[in-house]
Amino acid sequence: MNPSRRNLLKMGGAALAMIPVVAVAAKNDSIRTTMRYKGSPEGDKKCADCGLFVAGASATDAGSCKVFPGDTEISPNGYCMAWAQKG
């Protein structure tokens, strides 16, 4: 392999290494239906204030929920019937 091709391949590998690993967002529609999840608060009750909510990267990003397996798109402003005041 000539030196310029080797360098090109090295650069390609470096470029690939710089691509961040992004978690694939997913919804668990089955449990959303069962738990009557909605993407809006119920009065002053919302996921951000629920003890089962796992916050996303920021306060406004989607997070996940301890009782919604595999669902990574829980809105901090959402609500479901399992809501429990954060302690």
Contact residues toward ligand SF4 (CB under 6 A) are 37, 47, 50, 52-53, 65, 67-68, 74, 78-80, 82-83
Q: Least distance (Å) from ligand SF4 to the CB of residue 82? A: 4
Residue whose tokens read 């961040």: 20
Minimum CB distance to ligand SF4 smaller for 12 or for 39: 39
Minimum CB distance to ligand SF4 smaller for 52 or for 72: 52
Q: How far apart are CA 79 and CA 3, in angstroms?
A: 59
Q: How far apart are CA 5 and CA 7, in angstroms?
A: 5
* Backbone angles phi and psi of 27, in degrees to 5: -115, 150
Q: Least distance (Å) from ligand SF4 to the CB of residue 56? A: 12
